[in-house]
Amino acid sequence: MAQDPSKPDRLGPPRADGAPWRNFYGRRRGKQLRTGQIAHLDTTLPDLAVPNVGWDENPQRRPLDLHALFGRRAPLHLEIGFGGGEHLLARAAGEPQTDFIGCEPFVNGVAMLLPKLATQGSGNVRLHPGDARDLLDVLPAGSLSRCYLLYPDPWPKKKHHRRRFVSAETLTPLARALQSGAELRVATDIPDYVRHSLEAVAAQDAFEWTAQTPADWRDPWPDWTRTRYEAKALRQGRSPHYLRFRRL
């Protein structure tokens, strides 16, 4: 089934005039979606999408009502760039007492996850199919107990380094949203992104790197679930790194 050309993204209206230009990701769409995936974008996603994130629907950037969003008060974890959703799906199933918000601007990744959420159950998962920085703007202060950034786009060309997600622009609002003692976990297979992340975090007063030994960044976290991106990195001979930063 061909995709409807009148709905280029199927993820809501374009940004409102006057909203800041942001783009830390590349393409929004990959190969053609299957019929079932398109159906889930039209039927499942509206029930799971975090409301009042976009500048057009929340121009004053008022904080989200998380109690209304999930119907309860529980620890909240954020996953930025969930890709195919393997890690997010496993964590949501393994920690039913925790709520999760997953951000992913790539349409195919969202479409891949939705059928699995519909089958597994999605009571503790909500999705923002767009720029995570828009969500950080409206998360209440101290609302996050953990944040995952898994295999972000490394933007290898030096002229594109400003588009890397780990930066002062994002660490500042993320620090505001994280409660004291909360963790930011970053997984990447790109050594230069490791260096970049350590330098960017060191420039902030809000975080500390928790590593004590090499195993602390070479070994995966105890509750780690391998993603398709990590599997690809290993097949191509690259070594994953697992960084943990604590919010002070």
pLDDT in tens, 146-161: 999 999 998 888 887 8
Contact 140, 177 (CB under 8 A): yes
Contact 189, 220 (CB under 8 A): no
* Per-residue CA distances from 52 to 12, 64, 128, 200 (Å): 12, 7, 10, 30
pLDDT, tens digit, 9 for 90 and up, residues 201-219? 999 999 999 999 999 999 9
101 CB-contact burial (10 Å; exposed 0-12 / middle 13-18 / buried 19+): buried
Q: What pLDDT, on a 0 to 100 scale, did the predictor assign at position 32?
A: 77
Confidence of residue 33 (pLDDT cuts 50, 70, 90): confident
Kindly give, in sequence order, each residue whose CB lies less than 8 Å from that of residue 179, ignoring residues fewer than 6 positions away. Answer: 142, 143, 144, 145, 247
Q: What pLDDT, on a 0 to 100 scale, did the predictor assign at position 81?
A: 93
Q: Is the pLDDT of residue 144 over 90?
A: yes
Q: What pLDDT, on a 0 to 100 scale, did the predictor assign at position 26?
A: 46
| Alpha-carbon span 116 to 1, nearest angstrom | 21
What percent of the chain is modeled with pLDDT above 70?
A: 88
Global pTM? 0.87
Distance of CA 126 to the CA centre of its chain: 11
Q: Which of 17, 131, 137, 153 is catalytic?
A: 153
Q: Is the pLDDT of residue 193 over 90?
A: yes
**Better pLDDT: 20 or 41:** 41
Q: What pLDDT, on a 0 to 100 scale, did the predictor assign at position 22?
A: 52
Domains in the chain with CATH codes:
35-247 (3.40.50.150)
What percent of the chain is modeled with pLDDT above 90?
A: 75
Pairing state between β 144-150 and 76-80 = parallel
153 in catalytic set: yes
